[in-house]
Structures are given as structure tokens and as C-alpha cells.
Amino acid sequence: MLEFLYLAGANDSPDPFPDQLLAHLCRLVVGADTVSYGDHNPNRRGWRSTPRWAGEPQPHTDSIRAAFQTFRHQYPHAPSDPAPVLRWSDRLSPRAMRRLDLYWEVSRPLGIESSLTIWLRDATHVFGGFAFDRFDGDFSDRDVDILEALTPHLLQLARNADTRWPEPATDLTRREREILAWVARGHTNHQIAATLYVSPGTVRKHLDNIYAKLDVPNRTAAVRRAYGLP
């Protein structure tokens, strides 16, 4: 835990948990097969926007993503759940889990047998969520204890990263600001399109408008000018 917190404290990017930190969290703290983190989006049917993964996940196909959105109501750990950390087996028996379409259409195709999830939230805001998955065996009480102890620190890391996102000092529309924020986080047009439920062509059109308003030639220059970066 101390090693992870030392590494996390040295992170100065607007992304609170970049890939290298997720890898350390997966390896050093929990030892799960996979871990993912995604920013919370209450308007998105999947709750988390463009999750980042570490470990050995099987490919997430469009059909699996669609199945998750269809059966999200069966998800045992919503962002508003009173428990910020939940080992799914504490709420669902193996028999009950296997009665869910969510298991057969999402978990089973990915090889996931056990999950443990965390929502990072304070009294007014949900910042994002972690999902830890195992392909064989369940999470231990020690895993739960470690993550419960770590959760306040993870929440503070998310808060710190959130303050590193200045409002762009430009006359952009709300949608243009939203797209530019995802560009600044390193997301591709296809990732942004999937997050916002629009086509990649629509993202490109918005980017063209952004370039024209900022008088810049590309996405890197747009981020630098909008956020006042050197």
C-alpha cells in the first residue's frame, strides 16, 4: 500500500490512475487478474466512461458492451450503493449470480468468476469506479480490508486530479469543451465517440470547429492553447 501511494502521489497528470498505476494496484495491492478504472458519467448507461485496464483482460466486444448496458439493472453495486467497496460474493451466492443474464452475457464470456468493485465518492460527487476481476477463486477478506483502508486515499487522489483540469479559456461550446477534455486525456476519436454515443465523424467535425476557433492545426496544439499549457 505504501509503495502504491508513493507512486500515486508522484502522479501530476489530470488522470488520477494512469495505466502504470493501475498495473501497480493490480500487482501490489490486490493481485487480481484484471483491474479497471473509469470516470463516473451518470448519463451513460454503463456509468463509467472509457475504462482503462491493467492485467490480462479478454477483448471487450461490442456485443458484450451492449449486453452490459442491457442488463445493467442486475449490477449488484450501483454508484449510489451505501457500501463504497463490495465483494460481489457477499451479496450474491454463486447460484444467484448464475441466474443473472449479466453473468452469462458479460462475466462468463470474459472468463470472470469473481468481482470486487469500488466507487470513489464524497457527499456531493462520484468521481469514478474500480472493478477488480478474478478468473479463478474469490477475493479474500484481506483483499477487502486492504481496499477499504485504501479507499479514502484513492478518493483523495481522484479529487487532486480533478483540480488539475482547468476550464479552457476559450469561447467553445459545452460539447466542444467536453470533447477537448477527452482529447487532453489522450483518448482517440473512436474512444470519445463511444463515450458520448456519437459517431467518430461527429467527433472529427467538432474537432475541426475547435481548431478553427483556436486557430491551431491539430489536437495537441488545441489542448495547449485552450488550457494555457507551454
The strand pairing partners of 86, in sequence order, are: 117
How many angstroms separate the CA atoms of 28 and 191, rounded? 29
Give pTM, 2 decimals.
0.77
Q: What is the 3-state secondary structure (H, E, C) of the chain?
A: CHHHHHHHHCCCCCCCCCHHHHHHHHHHHHCCCEEEEEEECCCCCCCEEEEEEEECCCCCCHHHHHHHHHCHHHCCCCCCCCCCEEEHHHCCCHHHHCCCHHHHHHHHHHCCCEEEEEEEECCCCEEEEEEEEECCCCCCHHHHHHHHHHHHHHHHHHHHHHHCCCCCCCCCCHHHHHHHHHHHCCCCHHHHHHHHCCCHHHHHHHHHHHHHHHCCCCHHHHHHHHCCCC
Q: For every one of its 230 residues, what pLDDT tens digit does the chain have, with 9 covering 90 and above?
A: 888 888 898 888 778 888 889 999 888 777 799 999 988 877 666 688 777 888 876 667 778 878 888 898 899 999 999 999 999 999 999 999 999 999 999 999 999 999 999 999 998 889 999 999 999 999 999 999 999 999 999 999 998 887 776 666 668 887 888 888 888 878 889 888 877 778 899 999 999 999 999 999 999 999 888 877 76
State residue 178's pLDDT score.
Answer: 80
State residue 86's pLDDT score.
Answer: 96
- What CATH number labels 174-226? 1.10.10.10
- In the chain, where are the structural domains located? 2-163, 174-226
State residue 94's pLDDT score.
Answer: 93
How many angstroms separate the CA atoms of 81 and 154, rounded? 18
State residue 45's pLDDT score.
Answer: 62
State residue 228's pLDDT score.
Answer: 74
State residue 230's pLDDT score.
Answer: 67
What superfamily in CATH does domain 2-163 come from? Transcription factor LuxR-like, autoinducer-binding domain (3.30.450.80)
CB atoms within 10 A of CB 98: 12
**Are 2-163 and 174-226 in the same CATH fold?**
no
